Amino acid sequence: MKKIVILGNGYVGSYLYDRLIFPGPEKKSYDVKIEKRKLLNYNDIKCLEIYLDKEKPDYVINCSGFTGRPNVDEGELKKELCFELNTFGPLRVSNLCKTKNINYIHISSGCIYTGYDKPWEEDDEPNFGLFDEDSSTYSKSKHAFELGCDWGLILRVRMPFCDILHDRSFITKIYRYDNLIDRVNSKTYIPQLLDFIEHFINGGYEAKEKDILNFVNPEPLSTKKVTKLMDKFDVVNPDWEWVHYCDLETIAHRSNCVMSTDKLEDEYGFKMWEEEVALECALTNIINI
């Protein structure tokens, strides 16, 4: 039985914990714990070292970080906190896992690219990261972690969505926003992220040598196509209005891009559903709750 420690009980962390603690009758069982930063300050290296020496996990999965409330604009107001929670704290966790030879999986972000010149691959130099004037503090902090990290598997997710109207889900955000802009963006269906993590652990993969993986659904849809699909399932906001990006009152610039999923399938044998299929599955589950 694999022993797993999840750091962070937010959107992804709590979802992952529920999956691993109740894996289902035909799936493997795990010894899994989830830790809140308020109860275990895992950004404090001494505190975390005592904890890891006691628990001796096979895998540490870091789902913590700064995303901002209600959005990444908060990162412009709390820059030091954004870098502490997205860069420096996770680097301390990664380095400690390296010292103790513990598999480390880090949930990160693909919002370090922007533009549609190509589907961005894992080895492409970020153009919306640490060295770019127009990038957000959030994007800078995510890129900075990648640059400093030399241990573990980094999973880049974007605009995650799930099977419930969760506050952090892309579907919920689109449903509640009155003003929308039409952009094509890669997105991540959270249940498949959980499937992959199980696939990774059960397959005996190691998360030790640094590796980066785009984890998004292929064939992404534009915002207008997403809303048409939502309309099909009667998940509609009657106040939706299409506006230009310049009409939005944002502090930070936003990333808009499509990411390649070739490496995910070629190197890990994991095939993601096309985004439309994943969205239909999520919307079906939402209306049946």
Residue 262's domain is classified under what CATH number? Answer: 3.40.50.720
Res 18: pLDDT = 94
Q: Is residue 241 part of a domain?
A: no
233 domain residue, yes or no: no
Q: Is residue 287 part of a domain?
A: no
- Number of folded domains in the chain? 1
- The backbone torsions φ and ψ at residue 47, rounded to the nearest 5 degrees and listed phi first, read -60, -45
Q: Residue 175: inside a domain, yes or no? A: no
**Does residue 289 fall inside a structural domain?**
no
What pLDDT, on a 0 to 100 scale, did the predictor assign at position 25?
A: 66
pLDDT of residue 29: 83
**How high is the pLDDT of residue 26?**
63
Q: What is the DSSP string of 17-74?
A: HHHHHS--TTS--EEEEEE-TTTS-TTSHHHHHHHHHHH--SEEEE------SSSTTH
Q: CA-CA distances (angstroms) from residue 76 to 43, 139, 162, 212, 250? A: 21, 11, 27, 26, 10
Q: Is 101 left (phi over 0), alpha (psi -120 to 50) or beta?
A: left
pLDDT at 247: 79
- Any domain includes 159: yes
Q: Are strands 59-62 and 2-7 parallel, antiparallel or unpaired?
A: parallel
Residue 105 belongs to domain spanning: 2-164+187-219+256-273
pLDDT confidence of residue 234 = 94
Note whether 252 and 111 are within 8 A (CB).
no
pLDDT for residue 245: 84
Which portions of the chain are predicted below pLDDT 70? Answer: 24-26
Asked if residue 172 belongs to a domain, the reply is: no
36 in a domain, yes or no?
yes
Report pLDDT for 288. 85
